[in-house]
Structure 1
Amino acid sequence: MALLEVTAATGISVVAGTAVTALLCIGPRQVSRAMTDVDDRLREIAPYLGAALALLAVKQITQGYRLRLSRALDWNITDELYALEGEFVASLQSLTPDATLEFFTVSYMVGFAFLLVAAPVTYFLSEGHGRRHLKELLVAYMLNYAVGTVCYTLFISYGPRNHLETVSGLMYRVYPQTQDLTAAVASNTNVFPSLHTSLSVAVLAVAWRSRRTHPRWTPAAAAVAAAVVFSTMYLGIHWLTDVVVGAALGVGSVSAAARIVDRAESGSAASRPGGEREKPTGRPGDD
């Protein structure tokens, strides 16, 4: 019952936040216009969306096998992470006011899911380069999950809350029901790198590329992403090293995604009858 309640509360919050974000960031007129050509928009992004969903399905199907393989490899890097940064997370917890616990718990549980959903919905409903940014974001999601899956299979790593007596698993201690949801989607050894960080940074990186056409979305994404990244350490779930590597993965995935989409779109244009290409409308990152 706790899992159902937490999932429902998270889902309702994300849907409501996404709807408000779309109305505030792109306006009711663009949302209304988008409803008139949903089929065309879906057809345009179908290859990217289909590939992303297929990757998630494969990841879910192979989860048990990958966990067994990881245990068989038994490459535990937790001690190395602690040797690298020591008591950083413990110090961070001691310096952060206890009154912020609820805010960062909501950031970790709801803010992260909000970023993953609100960003693609906002771009899907947008005019101009919106769908180009959506394609980049979907490819970046795939790259993050692909790299994360490989790392989680190769490396066993326990977060600070499971390794240090000086670090408390604040969220799980005060809100134990949240552990049901997190345990349902990930193992407690899925620590290096932090996909909460990498995916949040990827959303922010695409938001930065779209800052001229989506000026209201960029600061909103930045604020939520910053809260999510900080929460992963404050709640004792990730090491600073996980976060640093995750941030690098997030930025790198968007850079690679932009190149991948460039090539895919160029190939698509070249395959049209007569080899016709659309007239350039400017670099998506500069719009």
Structure 2
Amino acid sequence: MALLEVTAATGLSVVTGTAVTALLCVGPRQVSRAMTDVDDRVREVAPYLGAALALLAVKQLTQGYRLRLSRALDWNITDELYALEGGFVAGLQRLTPEATLEFFTVSYMIGFAFLLVAAPVTYFLSAEGGRRYLKELLVAYMLNYAVGTVCYTLFISYGPRNHLETVSGLMYRVYPQTQDLTAAVASNTNVFPSLHTSLSVAVLVVAWRSRRTHPRWTPVAAAVATAVVFSTMYLGIHWLTDVVVGVALGVGSVIAAARIVDRAEPPSVAADGDQRREPAGRAGDD
């Protein structure tokens, strides 16, 4: 019952936040225009969206097998992560006011899901140039999940809350129902690298790349991504090392995604060409 309630609350919050973001960052008139050619838009991005959904399906279907393989390999790197950074996360928890716990819990649970959904929806509804960024983002998602899946299979790693007595699992202690949802999608050994960090950073990097055509979306993505990345450490879920590697993976995935889309798309739909056809800031006009 707790899983259903948390899932429903998270889903409703993400849907509401995404709708508001679309109206503010894309504009009602552009959203209305997008609805008139939604079929063409879907056909254009269908190969990328289909590949991303297929990868997620395979990831979920093979989760049990990968977990057994990971335990058989038994390459536990938790001690190495602790030796590398020591008590950084414990110090971060001590320095952060406890009054921020609810904010960072919401950032971790809802803010992360919001970024993953709101970013592609925003680009899908935007003027023509937005679809280029949507394709880059979907490829970046796939690269993040592919690398993360390999790392989670090869390496066993427990987060600070499970390894150090000086670090509290704040979110799970105060809001234990949240663990039902996180446990349903990932194992507690899925720590290195932080996919919460890498995917949030990927969204932020694409938002920065699209800042001229989507000026209202960029600061939203920056604020939420920053809160998500910080929350992963403050809540005792990830090590600083996980986050640093996650940042590198997020940036690298977008760089690679841009090159992949360049090779896959004809020159006529290159990002520079789209931006020349669309005046700067047009996508955010009402």
TM-score range, shorter chain: over 0.9
Matches within 5 A, 1:78-227: 78-227=78-227
- Aligned equivalents of 1:164 and 1:245: distance in 2? 21
Letter in 1 for 2:208: W
The CA deviation at 1:281 is 6.7
Per the alignment, residue 17 of structure 2 pairs with 17
Letter in 2 for 1:110: I
The CA deviation at 1:283 is 5.9
- Of 266, 277, 282, the match for 2:272: 282
The CA deviation at 1:83 is 0.1
Aligned in 2, Cα 1:62/1:285: closer, same or farther, shift over 3 Å? farther
Aligned in 2, Cα 1:50/1:232: closer, same or farther, shift over 3 Å? same
- Deviation string 1:113-143 (CA, Å, 9 cap, x unpaired) is 0000000000000003100000000000000
1:51 and 2:51 equivalent?
yes
1:229 and 2:229 equivalent?
yes
- Aligned equivalents of 1:93 and 1:279: distance in 2? 47
3-state DSSP class of the match of 1:179?
helix
What TM-score, normalized to structure 1?
Answer: 0.94
1:34 and 2:34 equivalent?
yes
Letter in 1 for 2:67: L
Matches within 5 A, 1:256-275: 256-266=256-266
Aligned in 2, Cα 1:141/1:13: closer, same or farther, shift over 3 Å? same
Please tell me whether the aligned partners of residues 144 and 195 of structure 1 are also in contact (alpha carbons under 8 angstroms).
Answer: yes
1:242 and 2:254 equivalent?
no
RMSD: 1.3
Please tell me whether the aligned partners of residues 124 and 134 of structure 1 are also in contact (alpha carbons under 8 angstroms).
Answer: yes
- Deviation string 1:57-97 (CA, Å, 9 cap, x unpaired) is 11111111100000000000000000000000000000000
Aligned in 2, Cα 1:162/1:280: closer, same or farther, shift over 3 Å? closer
Aligned in 2, Cα 1:107/1:281: closer, same or farther, shift over 3 Å? closer
Higher relative contact order by CA 8 Å / sep ≥ 6: 1 or 2? Answer: 2
Structure 1: gaps spanning 5 or more residues = 267-276
Letter in 2 for 1:64: G
3-state DSSP class of the match of 1:282?
helix
How many residue pairs were aligned? 277
3-state DSSP class of the match of 2:75?
coil
Structure 2: gaps spanning 5 or more residues = 281-286
- Aligned equivalents of 1:48 and 1:108: distance in 2? 26
Please tell me whether the aligned partners of residues 209 and 284 of structure 1 are also in contact (alpha carbons under 8 angstroms).
Answer: no
The CA deviation at 1:231 is 0.1
